[in-house]
Amino acid sequence: MTQILAAFLPAGLILLMFVVGLRLSLDRVGAAFRHPQALFTGLAVQMMLLPAVAFLLVRLFGLSTEMSIGLVLVAAAPGGVTSNYIAWLAHADVALSAAMTLVTTSLAAVTIPAILMLAGVAALPGVSGLAKMSMAMSAVALVPMAIGIGFAAWRPETAKRLGNILDPVSKLIFAAMVLATFVQNWGAITDHLSSVGPAVVALNLIALGLAGGAGMLMGLNTGQRRAIMVEASLQNVAVAMFVAGSLLKNPALATPALIYALVMNISALVQISMAHRRAVSVSGT
């Protein structure tokens, strides 16, 4: 079962990102960089405030050394690979979401070792491996999106029809991916939920609060605020697990990431549901 899921998930992710690309344009993505206020706000929340919150939670909950490093590692990870698709489902600014994913993933080989050093990890071996891992994850997410953007620019009407056909399929695949996350990680989640679970939940909820608050403070529109909330609350747990198991040779450090995978998917479903309720309410008035 695990091998089937492992083979299915990358293909499913590629389709999801292609569907997102069909709804985007290169100009919209470029606008996120040309007018970077929202981008800088989101990056400040995700790359600066979130790790700081993790350090505070470690002390507040009195976590063990392994769980402390693991929680900080989750906070230091780049944006989740499904965040752009979730941003689309949540009626967020997908171009901003994609820009944040690109930046955080590109810088992960620098930011993760720096943040871990503050957590007491003297040196992170195999940083080149981390860079390759980060870029590979980025390619899986962003290359199919870029292909979708290109196809939409080349054949806009065909892309629109294709998007309408693939939309329900992509939603089924997304639901299957969420379910697969629960199945794969359920054992680790139940074993450690009581010890580190509250800190993981707190990290996710605070990420949402900080993102929404920062967006309001900076006068961002609803779509931009939603994009930052999605990006800040969804971390790339695969990268965190790679660092824990392959680079630091301590799989126990991945425990907070496994639990976060469950929490962030529940959080994502709530954000999508709230966005759809708001859309229905607005259309009905």
CB 231 within 8 A of CB 85: no
Q: How far apart are CA 68 and CA 149, in angstroms?
A: 40
Question: Could you tell me the two tokens for 206?
Answer: 């605070």
- The C-alpha atoms of residue 162 and residue 22 are separated, in whole angstroms, by 8
Phi and psi at residue 82, in whole multiples of 5°?
-95, 5
Q: Residue 54 is encoded by which pair of tokens?
A: 């993790």
Q: Which residues face 235 on adjacent strands?
A: 79
CA angle centred on 91, ends 72 and 141, rounded to 5°? 55
In three-state secondary structure terms, 218 is coil
Quote the pLDDT of residue 41: 97
pLDDT digit string (tens) for 262-281? 899 999 999 999 998 887 77
CA dihedral 175, 135, 251, 204 (to 10 degrees): -50
H helices of 62-93, in order, are 65-76, 83-89
Q: What is the amino acid identity at position 272?
A: I
Q: First CA to last CA across the chain, in angstroms?
A: 47
- Give Cα 74 distance to the centre of its chain: 11
Q: pLDDT for 205-227, tens place per residue?
A: 999 999 999 999 999 999 999 99
pLDDT < 70 regions, the chain: 1-9, 122-129, 137, 184-185, 283-285
Contacts of 122 (CB under 8 A, 6+ apart): none
CATH topology of domain 2-274: Na+/H+ antiporter like fold (1.20.1530)
What SS3 state is found at 239?
helix
Cα separation of 55 and 117, whole Å?
12
**Which pTM does this prediction carry?**
0.87
The residue among 23, 47, 32, 89 whose CA lies nearest residue 272 is 89
Is 235 strand, coil or helix? strand
- How many C-beta neighbours within 10 Å does residue 201 have? 17
Domain ranges of the chain: 2-274
For 145, residues 6+ apart whose C-beta sits below 8 A from its C-beta are 17, 18, 20, 21, 24, 84, 98
Please give the pLDDT value at position 127.
Answer: 62
> Rounded CA gap, 282 and 16, in Å?
27
Calculate the CA 38 to chain-centre distance: 17
